[in-house]
Amino acid sequence: MTSVALLRQVLDYANRPDPYPLYAELRRTPVVRDEAGPYLVSTYWEVRGLLHDPRISSDARNLTPEAAEATGQEQDPNLPPSFLRLDPPEHDRLRRLAMRPFGPPHTPRRVFEMHGELAGIVTGLIDDLRGRDSLDLVDDVSYPFPVTVICRILGVPREDETHFHEWADTIAAGLDPVGTAEERAAKMQAVQQARRDLAMYLAGLIEERRHAPRDDMLSALATEHGPDGQMSPVEMITTSVLLLIAGHETTVNLITNGMLTLLRHPDVLQRLRTEPDLAVPLVEELLRFEPPVQMLPQRTTLAEIEVAGTVIPKGASVYLMVASGNRDPQRFADPDRFVPDRPDNQHLGFGHGLHSCFGAPLARLEAQLALTELVRRLDAPQLVEDPPPYRQNAVLRGPRHLRLAIGGIRD
């Protein structure tokens, strides 16, 4: 089967429930070129190596014009890219500024100290299910939990939290490299409008915090100064948009994929119920086995490089197939088996290198708390349909709904 057919099948919605056999076929050739232009890298060591390679850029402005047009990675003319889409030194400066109010070295206990608040949010969401014999895990728990958390971290008023779902879904869909040139153009137009709407809202909120700061991240970005100076107003907006989208979209999938996997492995579900400490290695295995981010399509070569015997020219588009790398038998023994306490689990679920996931500690804690509490308190949970309906997005892969029948809610 050609690389062209494989990529189209990976992106085909019909294969969203189980793309892993396609990844196995893709790994037969570690680097292949798609007809549209991008190079697909699918094996663990090659993907990990490129995540650390300074010749690989995250800035789409380094694509050749032909590659940018072919892959639909044109820039939004109204907002500059966030630091996720930048290279050093600008990436490093903006990431350091964003980290000051969020984590080490300046606020090293920020996530740890949220443990009680996060547990309270999960408990409240599950308490609200009392008296019901069914639920949709996505709508009832997996979505409202992380979106509530990231909104509180940023300082978004609770009454405004409901506005973000549509914005977030639209912007996240822009990551999906699927469709004709006309479809991609229409999608990009919708993404740009959603980003503008979200940016206007955040600009107003940042201005409020500048004059009346609170104990939240937007206030810190708007008022604090450090060795790197201060973000510009536009940089504050693009960083806030990034944190809002990345801060909940991936965690929704991690929790939902996690519960789906546990229901498919009832022996592991029972272990977690009786051994809550299992949640720590179990979430790491979920990040390997069913990662919420399946591929990183927005990478560009800054020079001609050779990978696994294939020469990739300068300015080419490169897709790093992280979910495929996580199932590579050259790195993981029995990779298609879910092993909740798998040793030496250096997965690619949060990326690697300078673009490793900014919010990984928070996402880990959210998933550990949510899955442990769900397993403890849902009585006799059963899948209503398997496979469940999936989201359209092939990059951020996860069920759109996960309907469960339950016997009730335990105390």
Residue 275's φ and ψ, nearest 5 degrees, are -130, 75
Spatial contact of 382 and 263, defined as CB atoms under 8 Å apart: yes
Confidence of residue 36 (pLDDT cuts 50, 70, 90): confident
> Using the 8-state DSSP alphabet, how is residue 390 labeled?
B
What is the CA angle 58-37-193, rounded to 5? 55
- 410: buried, middle or exposed (CB in 10 Å: 19+, 13-18, 0-12)? exposed
Q: In 3-state terms, what secondary structure has residue 136?
A: strand
* pLDDT-wise least confident of 166-175, 263-272, 304-313: 166-175
CATH of the domain at 10: 1.10.630.10
Confidence of residue 74 (pLDDT cuts 50, 70, 90): low
Q: What is the 3-state secondary structure (H, E, C) of 272-336?
A: HHHCHHHHHHHHHHHHHHCCCECCEEEEEECCCEEECCEEECCCCEEEECHHHHCCCCCCCCCCC
Cα–Cα dist 386/390, whole Å: 11
Query: Residues 37-47: pLDDT tens digits?
Result: 889 999 999 99
| The pLDDT value given to residue 298 | 82
| The pLDDT value given to residue 257 | 98
Confidence of residue 241 (pLDDT cuts 50, 70, 90): confident
Q: Please state the rounded mean pLDDT for residues 25-32.
A: 95
pTM, rounded to two decimals: 0.91
Query: Residues 397-409: pLDDT tens digits?
Result: 999 999 999 999 9
Cα–Cα dist 326/346, whole Å: 9
Q: Is the dihedral of CA 155, 158, 159, 164 positive or negative?
A: positive
Quick check: 392 pLDDT over 80?
yes
Cα–Cα dist 399/408, whole Å: 23
| The pLDDT value given to residue 408 | 96
> Residue 83 sits in which domain range?
3-409
Query: Residues 187-197: pLDDT tens digits?
Result: 788 888 888 88
Quick check: 213 pLDDT over 60?
yes
Query: Residues 327-377: pLDDT tens digits?
Result: 999 999 999 999 999 999 999 999 999 999 989 999 999 999 999 999 999
Q: In 3-state terms, what secondary structure has residue 82?
A: coil
Read off the tokens for 244.
């809002």
Confidence of residue 315 (pLDDT cuts 50, 70, 90): very high
Q: Please state the rounded mean pLDDT for residues 295-308.
A: 95
CA 49, distance to chain mean position in Å, is: 20
Cα–Cα dist 38/36, whole Å: 6
Spatial contact of 227 and 371, defined as CB atoms under 8 Å apart: no
The total of structural domains in the chain comes to 1
| The pLDDT value given to residue 275 | 97
Look over the chain and give the mean of its residue pLDDT values, rounded to a whole number: 90
Q: Are strands 39-41 and 31-33 parallel, antiparallel or unpaired?
A: antiparallel
**What are the Cα distances from residue 183, in Å, to 15, 155, 187?**
20, 35, 6
Residue 142's nearest CA partner among 399, 411, 382, 405 is 399
Query: Residues 87-143: pLDDT tens digits?
Result: 999 999 999 999 988 888 788 888 888 999 999 999 999 999 999 999 999 999 999
| The pLDDT value given to residue 105 | 79
Confidence of residue 394 (pLDDT cuts 50, 70, 90): very high
Quick check: 1 pLDDT over 60?
no
Q: Please state the rounded mean pLDDT for residues 203-222.
A: 92
Read off the tokens for 394.
């092939």
| The pLDDT value given to residue 390 | 96
Spatial contact of 246 and 363, defined as CB atoms under 8 Å apart: no
Residue 302: count of CB within 10 angstroms of its CB? 15
For tokens 């229409």, name the residue.
Answer: 186
